[in-house]
Structure 1
């Protein structure tokens, strides 16, 4: 694999605890994560709601401060850097948000919103921005004349295309797609996924694709990391993860994927109980309280993410060899 374009090293994020459920205890949303994306590569990030997927994406983009660890972009650390260093890096990395309704300002024309990044980073003079906006709208499958419209005049799928056009306005090399189709009708989801795949190929984008839709991740991504309660349980190529999952949590996620072909359906693995509170995670392996393979040692040892088999995959499970 080529050198990473963006890399997280030992990344952690802790939020102060608030509310009756957390009783003032700090909430560790992401804990000691190593992740990287190479140029032109698509990394899928999967896991249940609350596993830390979106937090990881925002930390890598610098949209929230890290508690611990380092983010390196194109070989240079950006965490702890000056505002000028972050500004230069942000021009090269962008995000497509989950909510196509809330991510656009309803009071402004969409063309002006797409042009914001172009103006902020001084990419083009004002006289040339209209042509660039028209080009971007056409690239995402919309009529350039739509630049004069307001967000409420578009459907959800069209708004997400506008969000993608805005993300592309600065010519980024790295794109975080945070659940980009979960708020859309099923009939529209495939179109947006196809658009992201085409853009990735045509523009050579590195992409972090955050999703709970495992079949989409299998088709779109080169590698996958599986997260649970802020930690990575398993990492590997999409082919290996979906063909031969190792970690019990990965197996449970894949067993819940709907399959139309009865011959391809696996036996459903039902996890017991709800995920633990991130303000009070279990000792040892954070998944042990819901794992059918857990033993006493799982409560005592924090499993490291380590190579498994031929080294193409990594897994955080002390019993991986026994249960595989």
Structure 2
């Protein structure tokens, strides 16, 4: 049974600023997604594709413009409500920036224990020490401050803070992109171990496809607020069906030269989320686009391998 379910979820933001005019910015459009207990779903795509917004919608940190999000069978309460605050104890988030996500004026032990103080009425030192050990940090350093830790250690602190209330669901939003490559591998291994040991459901947002392949069970490929392709990692990486997925995978470094795909270069930049193309939002950069692609918004449909779905009306022709 799925723990987190998004049904036709949409999110638009109104223009901001004194002179703000024009159309709302559509960050997420008609997305269906789900994460089962103990499963890791990877979400990939270019910057501005809606990945982080989707993660915050699933956590209830943002209110949906349309559709609904369900957690453990019930609709998410309105953000900020008493019911939402109670439910938030079952969710955690690891941020991209291990430096900016910690308060430089407070000890790291106090910050790791914030969730316990909010949701459990107090942060016991023994519990905080156990969290430090869980993520590979010395509990004797609980009284230290963020500037005394390296980037990788700060991200471990962020993970410890996210785990403080024993969540069932964890959103990891680009958790290794700001780290050195050697440190990235250590943090990814930590997340994989935690997911296995704690049975966490995880939404892993990343630009790094090899990391997604290593860590996740399924992957959703987003472009301009929509899911272009979704399915088991093994199926999608072995036989990508959507032209956009193929382009992303063609840019992925491969150690074996025989397995390297011909690089597919997409023309231009993604269109503005405030003025997306009609029909398929990818058609303006797609070499397979035809007139019909401008007329119909393709729905995700079963095609290809087991559990694989693609939003492309020409999938049969180009696969």
Normalising by structure 1, we get a TM-score of 0.95
Normalising by structure 2, we get a TM-score of 0.97
Partner of 1:250: 245
Which whole-Å CA distance do the structure 1 matches of 2:183 and 2:243 have between them? Answer: 33
Partner of 1:278: 273
Is the counterpart of residue 213 in structure 1 residue 211 in structure 2?
A: no
Any idea what the Cα deviations from partners look like across 1:164-220, whole Å, max 9, x if unmatched?
A: 000000000100000000011112100000000000000010000000000000110
Contact 1:70 1:79 in 2 (8 A): no
Contact 2:224 2:281 in 1 (8 A): yes
Unaligned runs of 5+ in 2: none
Kindly report structure 1 stretches of 4+ aligned residues shifted beyond 3 Å.
Answer: 18-23, 79-82
Which whole-Å CA distance do the structure 2 matches of 1:119 and 1:154 have between them? Answer: 23
Partner of 1:140: 135
Q: Which moved more, 1:19-28 or 1:264-273?
A: 19-28
Unaligned runs of 5+ in 1: none
Which one of 288, 293, 300 corresponds to residue 298 of structure 1? 293
Is the counterpart of residue 103 in structure 1 residue 98 in structure 2?
A: no
Any idea what the Cα deviations from partners look like across 1:106-140, whole Å, max 9, x if unmatched?
A: 100010011111111126x55xx100000000110
What is the DSSP-based 3-state SS (H/G/I as helix, E as strand, rest coil) of the residue aligned with 2:289?
Answer: coil
Deviation at 1:260, TM superposition (A): 2.4
- What RMSD over aligned residues (CA atoms) do the two structures have, in Å? 1.6
Contact 1:40 1:206 in 2 (8 A): yes
Which whole-Å CA distance do the structure 1 matches of 2:155 and 2:304 have between them? Answer: 41
Deviation at 1:292, TM superposition (A): 0.4
Deviation at 1:254, TM superposition (A): 0.2
Length, aligned pairs only: 319
Which one of 154, 165, 170 corresponds to residue 170 of structure 1? 165
Deviation at 1:81, TM superposition (A): 7.5
Any idea what the Cα deviations from partners look like across 1:214-249, whole Å, max 9, x if unmatched?
A: 000011000000000000000000000100000000
Contact 2:61 2:79 in 1 (8 A): no
Which whole-Å CA distance do the structure 1 matches of 2:68 and 2:155 have between them? Answer: 31
